[in-house]
A = this chain, B = another copy of it.
Amino acid sequence: MIDQLVQAIQKTKAPICVGLDPQMSFIPDTVKARAFEEFGETLEGAAEAIWEFNKAIVDATCDLIPSVKPQIAMYEQFGIPGLEAFKKTVEYCKAKGLIVIGDVKRGDIGSTSAAYAAAHLGRVMAGDREYAAFDEDFCTVNPYLGSDGVKPFLKECDAQDKGIFVLVKTSNPSSGEFQDRLVLVPSEDAEADGASSLLVTGKKEMTLHKLVKDADPELLKQYTVRPLYEIVGEKVAEWASEPRLIGESGYSEIGAVVGATYPEMGKKLRRIMPKSFILVPGYGAQGGKGDDLVPFFNKDGLGAVVNSSRGIIAAYTKEPYAEKYGPDGFADAARAAVKDMKKDIAQALKRL
């Protein structure tokens, strides 16, 4: 699937995806009114409004873009009808030739992650028959539970020619709270020697001062101090390096999520994960700018796909689009915003 994403990016000259995160406040009143008239002020009505809104956005932009990223939470909040709208959106986008990144951020212990992987990338059996539940092309995965929570997704990527993006450094303001924590990392040798346990066993509430005062200086040389997101990035690189998961483009089915709001970290992570595409949220409404995106790309102009959600789908609510298009022109405003985003990124990537 990564090769298809690469081809679609090359064809559209746009390393972007449009985030289909249809908060009700983004949907013009006329669209909502039509849906509520048909289905009442019900979950079905809300889901219909979402679906009609998405469809118009997709119709207006699909020739310009390689991919979309529906955020399942925005659908899940409307229960079963909302999730039906999610499924319909996925199918419609795929029929329009778009690559669909399901932003689901799932992750659990092994057997449970296997069920999530089946739900979003794979197949399930009902008796002797096989079905696909949501069948996105890629999905996002939360790594907090470690390898055995991620491996079932790797397996589906291999079996179904799909891909994932693992959360490494997210775009939100408090992402650093855990992700940026400075971690003591033993060298491979130290780990093999059991040195890491020498350093920590039985030490409670140990200050750094006391820990290093008591320790063999040679042992201290075997530890580096690095932020957690780098450790997660290294794991992604390890998962991504599996030859069966690397496409003809040279890129792996296993990518990472790194927020546009942290370009310095993006630069480092770009080096740590050479085979991985980086899904970059946070452009536009969250504050990331075109120039911030350069470090996420490789010299070949590939290696990243930049998401914009409200900057595109709610473009009609903000200048310079609001005056020209207004609520009734929301789809045309989205098209104009996509064109501007493409220009902004193309301009920035000249610096590569």
Which residues does A use to contact B, with CB under 8 Å?
21, 23-24, 32, 36, 41-43, 45-46, 71, 73-74, 76-80, 82-84, 87, 105-113, 115-116, 118-119, 124-129, 131-134, 142-149, 167, 170-179, 181-185, 199-200, 203, 205-209, 211-212, 217, 220-226, 228, 231-232, 235, 281
Q: Are B127 and A146 in contact, CB atoms less than 8 angstroms apart? A: no
Protomer copies: 2
Given known A-B contacts A73-B115, A228-B181, A79 and B133 have beta carbons under 8 A apart:
yes
Given contacts A77-B116, A105-B108, 20 further A-B contacts (CB under 8 A): A42-B126, A43-B124, A71-B112, A71-B115, A76-B116, A76-B119, A76-B133, A77-B133, A78-B119, A79-B133, A80-B83, A105-B142, A110-B172, A144-B178, A145-B175, A146-B178, A181-B231, A184-B208, A207-B222, A207-B224
15 cross-chain CB contacts under 8 A: A24-B125, A32-B127, A46-B126, A76-B133, A77-B124, A78-B131, A79-B134, A105-B107, A107-B142, A181-B231, A182-B184, A183-B184, A184-B184, A212-B212, A212-B220
Q: Are B119 and A179 in contact, CB atoms less than 8 angstroms apart? A: no
Q: Are B146 and A144 in contact, CB atoms less than 8 angstroms apart? A: no
Which chain B residues border A179 with CB–CB below 8 Å? 144, 146
CA distance A87 to B43 in the complex (A): 14
Query: Which of chain B's residues has its CB closest to A124's CB?
Result: B77
Q: Are A225 and B211 in contact, CB atoms less than 8 angstroms apart? A: yes
CA distance A171 to B111 in the complex (A): 12
Given known A-B contacts A144-B143, A183-B183, A205-B226, A43 and B108 have beta carbons under 8 A apart:
no
Which chain B residues border A133 with CB–CB below 8 Å? 43, 76-80, 82
**A149 contacts which of B36, B112, B125, B174 (Cβ < 8 Å)?**
B174
Interface centre among A113, A127, A149 (most CB of B within 10 A): A127
Q: How far is the CB of A201 from the nearest CB of chain B, in Å?
A: 12
Q: How far is the CB of A261 from the nearest CB of chain B, in Å?
A: 10
Given known A-B contacts A131-B43, A149-B174, A172-B148, A87 and B76 have beta carbons under 8 A apart:
no
Q: Are A174 and B203 in contact, CB atoms less than 8 angstroms apart? A: no
Which chain B residues border A87 with CB–CB below 8 Å? 79-80
Interface centre among A167, A178, A221, A235 (most CB of B within 10 A): A178
**A206 contacts which of B110, B115, B176, B224 (Cβ < 8 Å)?**
B224
